[in-house]
Structure 1
C-alpha cells in the first residue's frame, strides 16, 4: 500500500557529506552472526562515508540501508529476518507505476465509493473518488513498502535521485512489521482501515521521530535532501504548491498524525510488548486512535439502515452494503467545510466528538441517478445536535443551499455537491438522505411518520 509521509521536521542538517564523528566500540561482527542493532556488516552507531548531494551509488545505498535497518532494530528492539531491497524512483516514474498521470483518467470509476465521499462533502460529482485519491497520492506519497514484493520504493524529493532518511526509516518499519506480524490483513470499512493504519503508520512515524531525535547528538546521519527543489514530475521546479484535494488528504493523513500519539500512549503504559500486541488487536475505530483512553473498551455501536426505497431505487450489489466512515473522516468534513476553528491536523472538534457509529448506504436508480442514506449515532443527544447543526451549516454556508421546507436543503447547480438533502435528528441519531432532487428523497428513503 502506498505510504504518505509528509511530516515536516524542524531539524534540517546542512551539507552533503556525512560526518564521521564518534565511532563504534562494538566488535567487528556480533557473536553468532547477528544481533539487534547490527545488519549486513553495520552496527547502528557505525559511521558511513557517503556523499548524498549527487545521489547514492549502489555500494553507498547498501551501506545506508544496512545501517538504517540496524538503527530501526535498536529503537524498536526487534530483529529483521531478512534484508529489504530499496529502489529510488522519480515523482514522474511513481505516477506512471501507480497508474496516475495527474489527471486520474486511467482509473476506473467507483460510483459506490463516490457516494461515500460525497456524503462527507469532500469529493464532489465533478470528479470521482478514484480519480481524486489517485491524484492526491501521486502528489504526496514519499515512498512505500510493498508486502507482496517485499521491497521498498522511495520517491526522490529532488531531480537527482536521493533517499530521504526519514522516508527510509519509516518504510523499513513497515518491512519489519511485515516480517514480524504480517501486513496482509484487510479492513471492511473506511473507519477500520484508518484505525488499523493508526497502528501501522503510527508506529512507523513514531519510530521515525525517535530516530530523528538521535541524529546530530547521538548518531551521525545522512543529510536531508532540499525539498524546496522537489520536482513535480513534469519539468516544473516545484516553485508552486502541488494541487490536491486537501479535504481528502486530511482523512488520509490522520493515521500519520494521531497514530504516533496513540502508539506513544500504548508504549508508555506497557512498553514495546504492548505495541507488539496491537498487531493482534487493532483498534476498532478511529475514535479509539484519536482518544487512546477509549482503547480497547469503547466499541462502536452497530448501525443499520432499513431499506425504505421505492422500486425505482435500489442498493448496489456490494458487500458490505454500506461503509462506516468514523470520527476521523467526520472531523475532516467539519474542518474542510468551515465548521470548526483551529489546526486542521488536531482532529478534534465539538461536531465530531461523541461519535458512536455510522453507516453510509449508497443507492442508484435505473437512469444513472445516485443517492445515499447516511445514518450516524452519537453518545448523547447534544453530540447529535452539534453534528446535525454543523452539517446543515456546511450545506448553507459553504455550498449556498436553500431550504425549501423544514429539514430539506437544495445545493444549486454549479456546485460540486448539487443535490437535495434531508437532514433529520431524532434523539442520538442523525439521518441524512441525499438524491438528485427533492422528489427523489422519499423514493430513496421514505420519511418516517
Structure 2
C-alpha cells in the first residue's frame, strides 16, 4: 500500500517541521528568534478562489533579498552537519500561494502516481483503513493547502521560498529543504528514488522483487526525510549549543508529538489513523532511523553511507537494528496470478509491509498489541481484482502474510478476524459442521486452520497454516481454493 506514500512525496509538506519548532520551544525554551517564533498556519485563502487572499501579508523586497542571502549560510550549515559536499549553488525563487496551489493541482491531475490514487483509496477502504464514505483526493487537497511549506524541487534544482511567511520563520524549514538539495547534488534524488520503485502496471506476473519495490521505495523516502529532519533539529538547536546527537530525548518526544498535530492543523487532526501514520512515517521513523545510525556509526554512516547501502523495507526503518545487523528476509514466493485469477481483472497489487500491519493492528487491537506483534512480521502482499465484465461488483482481495512463527500468525489472524465486525455491516461466522451462519457477532478467539464469514460483499476466508495467514475477501470459492493450495504449498517449500 505504498502508492499513497509515493504520491504524497511529490508535494511540499510543512506539518512535521512546524511541530518540531513547537516541541523545541517547549523543551528548551530557546530565546533565539529562529526557534522562539512558531511557524503560523498559512492564512485562509479567499472563499471564491484557490489563490491568494487580498488581505494576506507579503514579505517586503528587502526581506526577500535577506531570505535569499540566508540560503548560502544555511546550505553551508547543512553541508557541515551532514558531511555532504556543496557541488554548486542552489537556485532559489520566491513563490506565491497561487503558484503553490497551482503546483499541487497540476500534479494531483497529471502525476502518474496520482492516477493510481483512486485505486489505492478503494484498497485502503477494503482493508478498513479508510471509512467507506471518505474522499481521499478532497482530503489531500485540503491537507496540502493547510500544511504547505517551502520546498526543494529536484526537477528544477531550485528551493522555493514563500512570500507570505516571515523570513525568520522559514529558515529552519530551509535547513530541511537544503539538505534535500545536498542529497540531490551528490546522489541524484529522482534517480535514487526511482531505483527503489517498480511499475507493476504492465507486468502480467510480477516477481517477488517487483512486489518488494513498494517497501524499498518507502524505506528510501524515510532516509531522505530522516536526514533532513536531523539537520532541521540541529539548526534549530544550534543557538543553545546542543544538537540531536546530545539530545536523544528529542526523538521520542517528536515522534509522539507528530501524530497529535497542532491547533491549526484541522485536516490532519480529523484524519483516519492510517493517513496520520502514512503522512508522517518518513519523518517520524526516518528521524528515529537516522538517530540510531548516528549513535552507532557516526555521521559518515548516517548520511553518505546509507545512500550507498540503503535499507530495503519499512521493517528496517522501524527497527534500525535489523538494518545494522544486515538482516535479509527471503521474499515470499507468489502464486500464478494470471492463471489463478483468470476470471478477474486485476485492480491493484503491492506489498503489505511492517508499517502497514502495525497500523492495521493498532486500529483494531490497540497500540500495545501493535508494538508487541508487528516486529514478528516477515512478509506480505495483496492482490485486488474485480470479476471480468462486472465493474460494479465488490472489490475482491487476496492478502497473504508471513510471521516469525505459527503462534504469531494465529495472533494476527485473530486480530484480522475481529476487524471484520467493524469493517462490514454484516459478518457472520460459518460453522464448520453444517456450513450455516452462526448467530454470534464475535470473531473466533483462536484461529487455526480455515474459517469463513459471510458478509454483504461475499465470503471472507481466513486460513492459518504454520507461519502463513491467507485472507480471501469477496472471492468465489473455486478461486479461493485454488489460491489456498498454491500459496500454502509454496510456504511449505520455503520453510523446507
TM-score of the aligned structures, taking structure 2 as reference length: 0.66
- Name the residue aligned to 1:377: 402
Q: How does 1:48-447 map to 2 (within 5 A)?
A: 54=59, 57-89=63-95, 93-99=99-105, 108=115, 110=117, 112-114=119-121, 116-118=123-125, 120-123=127-130, 125-127=132-134, 136-154=143-161, 163-184=169-190, 185=192, 186=194, 187-188=197-198, 189-217=213-241, 238=264, 240=266, 243-275=270-302, 276-295=304-323, 297-303=326-332, 304-307=334-337, 309=340, 311-316=342-347, 322-335=349-362, 337-341=363-367, 349-365=371-387, 366-368=389-391, 369=393, 370-397=395-422, 399=424, 401-405=426-430, 407-409=451-453, 420-435=459-474, 440-442=475-477, 444-446=479-481
Task: Determine if contact 2:24/2:30 at 8 Å carries over to the other structure.
Answer: no
Name which of structure 1's ranges 129-138 and 205-214 shifts more when overlaid on structure 2: 129-138
Rounded to whole Å, the distance in 2 between the matches of 1:129 and 1:431 is 28
Rounded to whole Å, the distance in 2 between the matches of 1:314 and 1:274 is 45
Task: Determine if contact 2:277/2:359 at 8 Å carries over to the other structure.
Answer: yes
Rounded to whole Å, the distance in 2 between the matches of 1:423 and 1:372 is 12
More helix by share: 2
Unpaired runs of 5+ residues, structure 2, are 1-9, 36-56, 199-212, 244-262, 432-450, 486-496
Shift in Å, 1:177: 0.3
Shift in Å, 1:376: 0.8
- Name the residue aligned to 2:246: none
Q: 1:217 to 1:295 in 2, by over 3 A?
A: closer
Rounded to whole Å, the distance in 2 between the matches of 1:216 and 1:374 is 50
Unpaired runs of 5+ residues, structure 1, are 20-51, 220-236, 413-417
Note if 1:6 corresponds to 2:15. Answer: yes
Task: Determine if contact 2:93/2:159 at 8 Å carries over to the other structure.
Answer: yes
Rounded to whole Å, the distance in 1 between the matches of 2:219 and 2:117 is 23
Q: 1:123 to 1:103 in 2, by over 3 A?
A: farther
Aligned to 1:361, the other structure's residue is in SS state strand
Task: Determine if contact 1:109/1:130 at 8 Å carries over to the other structure.
Answer: no
CA RMSD of aligned residues (A): 3.8
Rounded to whole Å, the distance in 1 between the matches of 2:403 and 2:426 is 25
Shift in Å, 1:253: 1.3
- Residues 417-444 of structure 1: per-residue CA shift (max 9 Å, x gap): x665322221111112222xxxx44255
Q: 1:111 to 1:326 in 2, by over 3 A?
A: same
Q: 1:137 to 1:405 in 2, by over 3 A?
A: farther
Task: Determine if contact 2:34/2:172 at 8 Å carries over to the other structure.
Answer: no
Name which of structure 1's ranges 251-260 and 90-99 shifts more when overlaid on structure 2: 90-99
TM-score of the aligned structures, taking structure 1 as reference length: 0.72
Shift in Å, 1:354: 0.9
